[in-house]
A and B are shown apart, each in its own frame.
Chain A
Amino acid sequence: MLSTRAFPIRAAFSSSVFIAVGLSVITWTLPAQAQAPQPAPPDIRELKALYQRPPARPIENGALVELGRFLFWDSRISASGKTACATCHFPYLGWATTDDRSRGDSGRRTSRKSQPLIGLGHADGAPVGWDGRSATLEAQVKSSISTGSMSMHNTDTPVKLEVIEARIREIPQYVEKFNAALPNTPINIDSIATAIAAFERTMEPGPAPFDRWIAGDEAAISESAKRGFVLFNGKANCEACHSGWRFTNDSFHDIGTTTTDFGRGQQLKSVKAMQYAFKTPTLRSVALRPPYMHNASEMNLYDVVKHYEKGGIDRPSRSAEIFPLQLSEQDRLDLVAFMQTLTGMPEGEPAPKLPGR
């Protein structure tokens, strides 16, 4: 993708025809600026300043986070008693997976690859999930347990939510932990979701070689990776969506991958740009978790670069940030080398010993 900051907008465009939907809508476009003058390419120091990572998110309720950690790892909160959050979100893969699809609690394959949870505590209220169907992490947890991948909702042997809640209430160690974390609060799906979301917000990316480079250690990453960083922020326009220290601005785009999954368009049927659109995932520790994209359609990072080079499926909903690129083989390798510097070391944690087990 091409950065408007570093390079001219590639194609001049005429006035677009915008679609007006609904009642009494009167819209029209004003003439577009065909080739607006672009600022000069930024200094590398200015670029690096945009990637300074903030301190870890402060923990307000340590007991709640601890409770959430146990519940995250505990398969007893699923309908079958066999599926935990950690079943699809592995700690040493950026709290994600290398499976192209996960197998849900009902035994069926999920429709999309599990998203990484790493760094979500810094997402600042962005909708959660590939299609943004959940407004909060808490809502996502509740949805997953009650009707999603941890439920047997659509099988012949569904398990009522009350049964799952009762399982947790019957474990004295959990009752103790709930009382400490959320005094005078019933143990139910709401308090379970509150605890798990609190834990998920603590999943900080581990320090990566890239971070050491940003902090001033010139030997922390290779020259190839440094060139990749410049490409990432320039000619390749990756930073239009993967910006900032988390390498995502939590935006939604049709990047031209799928023809069957409407993604965000399922939530926003009347918004043209959201058809086939998916949430931009973080690139922190991205090298650890191939295959890539929501549908696992790219086997490795090199293939991902090739996808963006081609520009994906050209259609009305395709993001205007995406268009065919002119990359050399060295450019492709440099971009991959750069992404490989984002792997946190150390990162993740071992499974805890669960209450009542």
Chain B
Amino acid sequence: MRRSVALMATVVGVIVPALQSAADEHVVSNNNMQFLVNDAKVETLTIKVGDQVVFRNDDRLVHNVYSRTPGFEFDLGTMRRGTSAKHTFPKAGSVDIECAIHPHMKFKIQIQP
């Protein structure tokens, strides 16, 4: 009985909170010179602090993903067709994401606390 209670306490006290706070993974793809989420052009993607975003190039063209938003700068380099790269957003804020090669490709990521 004691062992069952202890096990239950472990599940409730450790595992469940851990699952609740686990970071999510979001997928943003490039196709037809657009950033897409679930095959639809994305204007704003809302995520939580600590979430990862997978950027996947499904386009026939080479792309790039970068941000010059102060405090959130990053550059995923040249992304050829069929490649992916992940980026973690560790703090709250609003980040402008662009393809440096095709500057009209852009969207915003809102990172909530």
Contacts and interface: CB of A to CB of B under 8 A. Distances in A.
A binds B: yes
Contacts of B82: 32-33, 36
Interface string B80-108: 11111111101100000000111110000
Interface stretch (A102-110, A125-133, A216-224, A333-341): A125-133
A161 interface: no
Contacts, number: 115
A24 interface: yes
Contact size class for B?
20 to 34
B64 A32 contact: no
Contacts of A250: 102-104
A4 B81 contact: yes
A180 interface: no
Interface residues of A, number: 45
Interface string B25-46: 0000000010000000000000
B86 A16 contact: no
A29 B103 contact: no
Contacts of A126: 103-104
B60 A18 contact: no
Interface string B50-82: 000010000011101010100111111110111
B88 to A, nearest CB: 4
A17 B78 CA distance: 10
Interface stretch (A182-190, A201-209, A265-273, A300-308): A265-273
A21 B101 contact: no
Contacts of A249: 33, 102
A320 interface: yes
A125 B105 CA distance: 11
A85 interface: no
A18 B71 contact: no
Contacts of B90: 24, 26
A19 interface: yes
Contacts of B64: 271, 273
Given A250-B104, A273-B100, A320-B62, A21 B73 contact: yes
The interface residues of chain A, by DSSP majority, are classed as: loop
A21 B75 contact: yes
A43 interface: no
Contact of A30 (B85, B88, B104): B85
B101 A270 contact: no
Contacts of B84: 29-30
Interface string A300-327: 0000000000000000000111000000
B86 A321 contact: no
Contact of A271 (B62, B71, B75, B102): B75
A164 interface: no
A28 B85 contact: yes
A25 interface: yes
A40 interface: no
B83 A29 contact: yes
Contacts of B76: 18, 27
B61 A240 contact: yes
A9 B80 contact: yes
15 contacts: A4-B60, A4-B61, A17-B77, A23-B73, A24-B88, A27-B87, A29-B84, A29-B85, A126-B103, A240-B61, A264-B100, A270-B66, A270-B73, A271-B100, A319-B62
Interface of B: 33, 54, 60-62, 64, 66, 68, 71-78, 80-88, 90-91, 100-104
Q: Which 3 A-B pairs have the closest CB atoms?
A: A22-B73, A33-B82, A18-B77
Given A4-B60, A29-B84, 14 more contacts: A4-B61, A5-B60, A13-B80, A18-B76, A18-B77, A20-B74, A21-B74, A27-B76, A29-B83, A36-B81, A124-B104, A127-B103, A250-B104, A252-B101
